[in-house]
């Protein structure tokens, strides 16, 4: 994501990396988000091939991705919550603060979330019943 931030005029306000998928919020500032996603997938694939000395092609990614355009501040808030609470939804942790591969910690430090927030009800966060 740091590489993409330098290559493209974009920001990633929220993100989480899970073992089998990622969620990220991209602000492309007029750039083609499909090209940004393609560039990300290509860069990660290349790095993995280099690390593990893989020759030839490998299939790491699904062909398509799910896109959602943020409509307003409420939608932005719900989407960010969904992203940050996704490790809880998938039962990797019982609190988003226990998952280190997330922008949640940046928002926690800024006071957007309570430090001891636990998920007791899967429907606590809007959209927890489906994956975006």
CA atoms within 13 Å, Cβ hemisphere of 111: 0
Q: Which one from 33, 92, 101, 107 is the annotated catalytic residue?
A: 101
The CA distances from residue 69 to 27, 76, 106, in Å, are: 10, 9, 23
- Is 101 among the catalytic positions? yes
d(CA 15, CA 34): 17
SS3 at position 83: helix
Annotated catalytic residues are 101
């Amino acid at each position: 994501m740091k590489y993409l931030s330098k290559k493209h005029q974009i920001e990633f306000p929220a993100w989480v990396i899970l073992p089998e998928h990622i969620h990220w919020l991209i602000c492309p500032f007029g750039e083609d988000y499909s090209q940004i996603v393609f560039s990300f997938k290509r860069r990660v694939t290349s790095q993995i091939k280099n690390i593990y000395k893989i020759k030839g092609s490998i299939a790491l990614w699904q062909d398509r991705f799910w896109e959602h355009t943020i409509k307003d501040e409420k939608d932005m808030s719900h989407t960010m919550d969904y992203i940050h609470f996704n490790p809880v939804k998938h039962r990797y942790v019982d609190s988003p603060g226990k998952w280190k591969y997330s922008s949640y910690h940046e928002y926690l430090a800024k006071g957007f979330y309570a430090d001891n927030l636990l998920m007791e009800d899967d429907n606590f966060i809007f959209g927890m019943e489906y994956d975006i």
